[in-house]
Copies of this chain bind each other. A is one copy, B any other.
Amino acid sequence: MGVRTDLALEAQEMYSQNTAKADKIDGVDVKVTKNEGITTTKIKITNKNGERALQKPIGTYVTIEAPDIKYSVEAYESACILLSEEIKSITHIDSKTKTLVVGLGNKRITPDALGPDVISKLMVTNHMKEHMKEYFDDDITSVCAIAPGVLGTTGMETAQIIKGVINQIHPDLVICVDALASRSLDRISTTIQLADTGINPGAGVDNSRARLDEESLGVKVIAIGVPTVVDAATIASDAIDTAFNDVEQQTPSDEKKNNLIKEALSKNIKTLMVTPKDIDTVIEKASKTVANGINMALHKNLTFEDIESFVG
């Protein structure tokens, strides 16, 4: 398919739109909540039909859309707290939980640096809890973190590195953080997706990676992502729709459109990404939000102010 998205929310919108059906799909439950300018959509894919429809594995996907996060301190604080709440609701965390946070992506490519940037802003405690147990409150849980690098610079599949580390460290929970690709330009940097299905080969900057999920790693895996790029095919697709609407008052068939996209982009179709020109500030704000959400979820008695003073 020409147009790809890593967001379950967009997959559901596209399916509904393409099939001209109402919201309800068999095997897909959708629940929307709005609060102080932030929209939270919880999508549950419950059966094989839901999997096929949205092209995502069975599981829960929470999308937090906070369009004001860039400009408003309040929206940013709300998004951090909301993310920490959703992490605690999607997985069980208690004082014994040991978590490994994995920052996927290439720190030398700005829109792919979200994962490594989040790692650098985490409150890592595992080594201190082991050696100075008496100083730590039960509400500070044990946290490890790694940014393993990408295939091109390590020569190793990221999944292999993570699996090796897990076999040594034995965490109870793995949180993978990654930059995503969205279908809509408007969702870049203001949307956070949280899923209990782990990471699957995606549409982001480096889309060839192996699965990182409970089945492959043997431990509960949750994934947190923020869209930072759009596929070049998405731009081409929108342009083709616009042209067809103009000439024939209707959009082309999927098959025809895919052929036209391939023709327009030729050999570059898989090698390009589309990203905002202010991607440096986008990544900075998004990585602070994700890191803070994780810090507050794993270290329960910390206030937003404590965390803010620590991060960054």
Closest Cβ neighbor of A310 among chain B residues? B73
Q: Is the CB of B248 within 8 A of A309?
A: no
How many residues belonging to A are interface residues under a CB distance threshold of 8 Å?
Answer: 84
A261 touches B (CB below 8 Å) = yes
Give complex CA distance A157, B272 in Å. Answer: 31
> Contact string, A137-164, partner B, CB cutoff 8 A, digits 1/0?
0000011111111011111110011011
> Which of A152, A252, A309, A311 lies at the interface centre, i.e. has the most chain B CB atoms within 10 A of its CB?
A309
- Indicate whether A265 sits within 8 Å of B235 (C-beta atoms), given known contacts A243-B243, A273-B275: yes
**Chain B hits for A125, CB < 8 A:** 155
Give complex CA distance A148, B168 in Å. Answer: 14
Give complex CA distance A125, B155 in Å. Answer: 6
A308 touches B (CB below 8 Å) = yes
A224 touches B (CB below 8 Å) = no
Q: Is the CB of B164 within 8 A of A156?
A: no
- Spell out A's residues near B (CB within 8 Å): 73, 76-77, 106, 108-110, 119-120, 124-128, 142-149, 151-157, 160-161, 163-169, 185-186, 205-206, 230, 232, 235-244, 246-248, 252, 256, 260-261, 263-265, 268, 271-281, 288, 305-306, 308-312
7 contacts between A and B (CB under 8 A): A109-B110, A144-B154, A146-B154, A156-B165, A235-B265, A240-B242, A242-B263
